[in-house]
Amino acid sequence: MKNVIIRKTEELENWRRNLRGEINFIPTMGNLHDGHKKLISTAKNSNFNINLVSIFINPLQFENKDDLEDYPKTIDNDIKIAFSNGADAIFIPSTIDIYPLNDKNIFYLKASEELSSALCGLRRPGHFDGVCTVVYRLLNLVKPKNLYLGEKDWQQLLILKNLIAVKKLNIDIKSIPTHRDFDGIPLSSRNIHLSKSERKLIRFFSNELFLAKKNFKIEKKINLKKIIKKLQSKKISIEYLEHLHPHTLQKARLEDNISLLAGAIRCGETRLIDHVFLMKRRPIIAIDGPAGSGKSTVTKLIAKKLKLLYLDTGAMYRALSWLMIKENIDYKKEKKLQNILK
């Protein structure tokens, strides 16, 4: 397939109409870095679909005009990066194409109130409404099978998952783990604004999150105040640092096995976010299904891949039944059963 650059929504609709096959869609705001590359190449290597990358700086998700104007624009380089990492087509619309004046088909959406009333949503009013509006508009134009999103923007990922569920769109979200730079800080288009000393602060911030994750494994608890104090001692300006449930974004509870530690800091003019997941124990995954459907095969493979303990409960029941028959034990005799179980 020939690589194409599409600039107008009508061109996109024409291209879409003549297409055979499904689309993997990777929306971006440009200034592509290795994190974006990972999204594009993962999509390319996952299936035989057509890979469409969009580059559009969405004015609706910026509260501040200067921030919008300062957003890095590197379109020629972005085109090279996208194509060389597996894009088949690139959609680069103008603002008027995405938001034509007086077009009744444009719906201005509100993000889930529950999910956007935490973390960045609290500090950036309207931001996630803007994200939902542009993504919904793009999805209606592109009609993809798969939507590739980065976990770096965890709250955005949850909000878009919710949007797709609420709108009952038949689109699978594929989320890609945060890609980090050599020094551990999450790659972001805004990193180019950072001075050497600001970068050092971010490194300290990300390191602290990872340290908290390591300590949590042992101590099973977190001391937010202590971390905040440590960050403040480095004169890091913290916008928030919160410990939440990873899916509802409500306060983490004692019984949560997995929780989210997420923070945002300001370095000069640049605002950066990062997060880690805290786990009390390794996950337990139960797989059920009809006989002969491949439960054991799949479970064994998953356990190997995730380095988890493989527990074949079916085999346990069979082993017990075998022993009871062999020893001639009546299954109604509970005491005997308990002894044999030991």
Tell me the chain's radius of gyration from C-alpha atoms: 25
Within residues 129-158, the interface with ligand AMP by CB under 6 A covers 149-150, 152-153
Query: Which distant-in-sequence residues (6+ apart) come within 8 Å of 267 by Cβ?
Result: 194, 198, 199, 201, 202, 236, 237
> Is residue 36 near ligand AMP by the rule CB under 6 A?
yes
Q: Which of 23, 52, 132, 176 binds ligand AMP (CB under 6 A)?
A: 176
- The Cα–Cα gap between 318 and 314 comes to 6
CA distances from 68 to 63, 71, 283 (A): 8, 5, 41
Minimum distance, C-beta of residue 180 to ligand AMP, in the bound complex (Å): 7
Active site residues: 36
Closer to ligand AMP at the Cβ: 164 or 176? 176
Minimum distance, C-beta of residue 123 to ligand AMP, in the bound complex (Å): 17
Q: CB–CB of 136/157 below 8 Å?
A: no
Q: Could you give the angle at the alpha carbon of 178 between the alpha carbons of 234 and 67, nearest 5°?
A: 65
Stretch that binds ligand AMP, among 34-42, 64-72, 251-259, 269-277 (CB under 6 A): 34-42
> Binders of ligand AMP: how many residues, by CB under 6 A?
17
Beta sheet of 258-267, edge-to-edge order: 237-244, 258-267, 270-279
Stretch that binds ligand AMP, among 30-38, 89-97, 138-146, 282-290 (CB under 6 A): 30-38
Stretch that binds ligand AMP, among 31-39, 98-106, 134-142, 322-330 (CB under 6 A): 31-39
Per-residue string for binding with ligand AMP, 178-197, x by CB under 6 A? Answer: xx------xxxx--------
Residue nearest to ligand AMP (CB): 150
Q: CB–CB of 112/162 below 8 Å?
A: yes
Q: What are phi and psi of 318, to 5 degrees?
A: -65, -40
- The Cα–Cα gap between 134 and 5 comes to 20
Q: Which of 9, 24, 28, 51 binds ligand AMP (CB under 6 A)?
A: 28
Task: Work out the number of other CB atoms within 10 angstroms of the CB of residue 116.
Answer: 26
> Is residue 35 near ligand AMP by the rule CB under 6 A?
yes
Minimum distance, C-beta of residue 242 to ligand AMP, in the bound complex (Å): 19
Provide the binding-site residues for ligand AMP, judged by CB under 6 A.
28-29, 35-36, 38-39, 149-150, 152-153, 176, 178-179, 186-189
